[in-house]
Structure 1
């Protein structure tokens, strides 16, 4: 009942957001599929039936027999039941053409993996499932202790890659911090530079330790129809630099219709801590991180940058995909930076969505220690530099203290330097014992961490590949669920992580 109440609450909030910003067709389709997921999980025929058209048929082929259920026959199979243990539901892909769509979804229980293919149509009553074909198989039991994770280099020759966005399971866009935005083919190993990037991009001149360059690349949730991509990079004006967020149309191998969405004024001479992490939330909004840009606390002004609501640096933002500001953003006052969502950020790069809960999590670089994992909360103040789990680079720094201010504690922090970067919640069948775990890459000593998460609590942490360290910039899954790493090297690599126990 608690989870059903949570679902209803989330759905109410979701539809409330729609009233202010019309939902995309993909969001409407995902809502229909979520009805199906919730009804399937609890045996609620009202929820399942709501997702299906009256003419819907459900088909599969099992034990040499073709099986065809009408909607009423299928609903007759359901009885109310407890939610299965370790249930994970996932929308693998959605393809939309006019008022028709197809979707591939997965429902994973403790014992079985169900894969469904839906054909959907948009009617006067909204998007509904017109028919379904399905299959399922039993999981091969593999405990997390028995997982044997192995690396396979898929592609190299990347120039300090920062981010990857999969166009298909075979093709992807990769942003190179010290190179270009490139389209790669994982099968042929071909690389094609994307033309048309804005000319104000600042290059990394100092090499190692210089954070300047090209950062995140993210696809619009409705990319197949609108071809929008979102990018962050270090922009230059004269000899000064800052973080910039843009939207563009990917036309073949060229950027067109470039639209600046956010510029983190002021431009300064520092070449550090730009931030640049970008992610879409379940609400269809664009969230991104902006670093405070300072290297040493001795350079902090009287009101620290990350605590100054009028200063655009050292914050996390939430905007609409067109750059406008959502009406339901938290209120920080008339002088606050537009789109401000949370403050007190030093150098956050990684930000990710936990698709099973809808929560956003982000990583944070400390100074001497002080590396953190945080759950993003609307209006939260994460404390920097007034409050930190590490030490200052400038030992004599004494931040101003506001006894009335409330700060949000991290979900996790390390006692050693990790330099956490891109992070990702794993969901899939290959590393089944890792489902729901948070995977975090680190630059310091080249680490990959697996964090076991319960709600907003991190219960344990395991460092992986301690015998083959390499600086890790990003952890990501492809549309088919394959797990990949990007390495932060001059000869950067795309590495597939495989489970040798299930080969």
Structure 2
């Protein structure tokens, strides 16, 4: 029996090790990052660790190659500060057995250089065997972002999902769920939306209506789509998450996955953002559903793990709860993944790292960008980078709580909504930048990120402001926006500098 228990423990430990062990791709990326960290700061020790003893490096400039041995190359470097606005991007990586090759772009504000690496796996790990560098700069595709309206007449559109390169689903907050063919210019209303939809309210600050529309990762096979919306009942309204089969332009086999009870008469902060993670789980946001802090109970809504509001959730696509979700205690709401949320709406996944980023509406200022982490408490309303609407609000400290700081916050009111990590070639200098739509300022923000740090921020379309609800790319990488207007638009963003 003891032997069996020992074997089980060893197997469990081995499984945990394998799950946490980095992949070969990650190990190669680590070597390349070590190289460029040394290159950017003149740290010859880091450069040396990344390179094999036999490594040769070649620079190409003005039609000529210049070769350096490892020792000659390292002798060229002296410590210096890291240049500002310098980024590296692994464009391509291929691995065959113990050999690898990588294409890497080095990008500054004006130009892009390209390095080609050959790597090999030794007993000491992955190291660079040789490198060819195109030291003659070529112009980066210009960042002359230009808007082109593809479709107008939308009723406060909230979300868009691509069925293919040419077909999209669009949820209108105050209208219909529609399917639109970008080539044929055909618009079809999807029938069968749940009858408890609340979208008939008017007045200042009303957030009710349809929210996110999201396709299943295996949509071509199972035809599943996911919807979030404001649902009504006798007691008021709340956020509901459902799954349906899209068949013959109709929603069928509707299954309720989550209801953010209690129903209340409040008309704000529903949340409703949804996303599939790299793990195949469904993540979604639920707002705290009150407008001012004076309405907070003794234990604030977003801090109470028994209250469904003011949280981010992670569930299986069928509504069941993953066994590896963080543990918030026996009384916690099932599916709970993160707390301390005020009014998060935008969610996006970095296709390179798998990290999930989300936007959060502040009060007066205090709008935030965060990286989603299991079990994290993002602080609301105990902490804010802005100002409380109710000036006298002074929350009592909750013993034992610790809070996750935002990655970025604005000193102005932006009202960030849809967020998207850009990938593609049309705007090469934007690769892996975070694009954030803003309702208040009516623009798009481009945040340059390294790891989990925002290095710089640029506001786009300042001469053509319109409330931006969503930023998204098509399967082939075309960039689109949704404008939150009574006459809402689907907008294609093109690069006029190409």
| Distance in structure 1 (CA, Å) of the matches to 2:18 and 2:348 | 22
Matched, 1:291 2:287: yes
Match of 2:432 in 1: 436
Change (3 A) 1:37 1:345: closer
Match in the other structure for 1:143: 140
Alpha-carbon distance change, 14 to 172 in structure 1, aligned in 2, over 3 angstroms? farther
Deviation at 1:83, TM superposition (A): 4.3
- Report the alpha carbon displacement of residue 424 of structure 1 after superposing the two structures with TM: 0.3
Q: 1:247 pairs with 234, 243, 247, which one? A: 243
Cα separation, partners in 2 of 1:39 and 1:379, compared to 1, 3 Å: closer
Shift of residue 209, structure 1, vs aligned partner: 2.1
Aligned twin of 1:344: 340
Q: Does 1:159 align with 2:155?
A: yes
SS, match of residue 390 in structure 2: coil
Alignment length, in residue pairs? 399
* Aligned counterparts, 1:103-142, within 5 A: 110=114, 141-142=138-139
Q: CA deviation at 1:110?
A: 3.7
Aligned to 1:26: none
Q: Is the 8 A contact 1:215 1:231 kept in 2?
A: yes
Pairing of 1:52-451 with structure 2 (within 5 A) = 80=99, 83-86=102-105, 110=114, 141-143=138-140, 146-206=142-202, 209-238=205-234, 240-451=236-447
Q: Assess if the C-alpha contact under 8 Å between 1:440 and 1:449 holds in 2.
A: yes
Which residue in 2 is equivalent to 1:470? 466
Structure 2: where are the runs of 5+ without partners?
1-14, 33-93, 117-136
Q: Secondary structure at the match of 2:150?
A: strand
Distance in 2 between residues matched to 1:213 and 1:442, nearest whole Å: 19
Give how far 1:40 is off.
11
Instruction: Provide the C-alpha distance between the structure 2 equivalents of 1:204 and 1:15, rounded to a whole number of angstroms.
Output: 53
Distance 2:168 2:272 in 1: 19
Give the distance between the partners of 2:367 and 2:332, measured in 1 at CA: 27
- Which residue of the partner structure matches residue 449 of structure 2? 453
Q: Which stretch shifts more, 396-405 or 239-248? A: 396-405
* In structure 2, C-alpha distance between the alignment counterparts of 1:407 and 1:358, rounded to whole Å: 23
In the alignment, which residue of structure 2 is the partner of 1:67?
none
* Deviation of the 1:185 alpha carbon: 1.3
Q: Which moved further from structure 2: 211-220 or 396-405?
A: 396-405
Q: What is the alpha-carbon root mean square deviation over aligned residues?
A: 2.9
Post-superposition Cα deviations, 1:248-303, rounded to whole Å, max 9, x if no partner, equal 00002000110000000100000000000000000000000000000011110000
Deviation at 1:80, TM superposition (A): 3.8
Q: Give the stretch that moved more between structures: 224-233 or 188-197.
A: 188-197
Give the 4+ runs in structure 1 shifted more than 4 A: 12-17, 34-43, 75-79
Give 1:205 shift.
1.4
Residue 104 of structure 2 contacts residue 115 of structure 2 at CA under 8 Å; is this kept in 1? no
Superposed displacement of residue 78, structure 1: 8.8
**Conserved? CA contact 1:204–1:210, under 8 Å:** no
**Which TM-score applies when normalising by structure 2?**
0.75
TM-score, normalised on structure 1?
0.75
In the TM superposition, residue 169 of structure 1 has moved relative to its aligned partner by 1.1
**In structure 2, how many angstroms separate the alpha carbons of the residues matched to 1:350 and 1:76?**
35
Structure 1 residue 404: deviation in Å? 2.4
2: distance between equivalents of 1:207 and 1:76? 58
User: How far apart, CA to CA, are the structure 2 residues paired with 1:484 and 1:454?
Assistant: 24
Cα distance in 1, alignment partners of residues 310 and 359 from structure 2: 13
Distance 1:342 1:109, change over 3 A: farther
Residues 174, 182 of structure 1: 8 Å contact kept? yes
Q: Is residue 495 from structure 1 mapped to residue 491 from structure 2 by the alignment?
A: yes
- Provide the C-alpha distance between the structure 2 equivalents of 1:78 and 1:40, rounded to a whole number of angstroms: 16
CA distance in 1, matches of 2:292, 2:471: 29
> What does the per-residue CA deviation read over 1:413-453, in whole Å, with 9 as the maximum and x for residues that have no partner?
00000000000000000000000000000000201000000
Return the index of the structure with the highest Cα Rg.
Answer: 2
Secondary structure, counterpart of 2:497 in structure 1 = helix
- Consecutive unaligned residues of structure 1, counting only runs of 5 or more, are 1-11, 18-33, 44-74, 89-107, 113-139
- CA deviations 1:179-224 (Å, max 9, x no partner) are 1110011123221110011100001411552100000011100000
Residue 159 and residue 76 in structure 1: after superposition, are their counterparts in 2 closer, same or farther (change >3 A)? closer
**Deviation string for 1:337-372 (max 9, x for gaps)?**
010000000000001101100100100000000100
Quote how far apart the aligned CAs of 1:482 are.
0.2
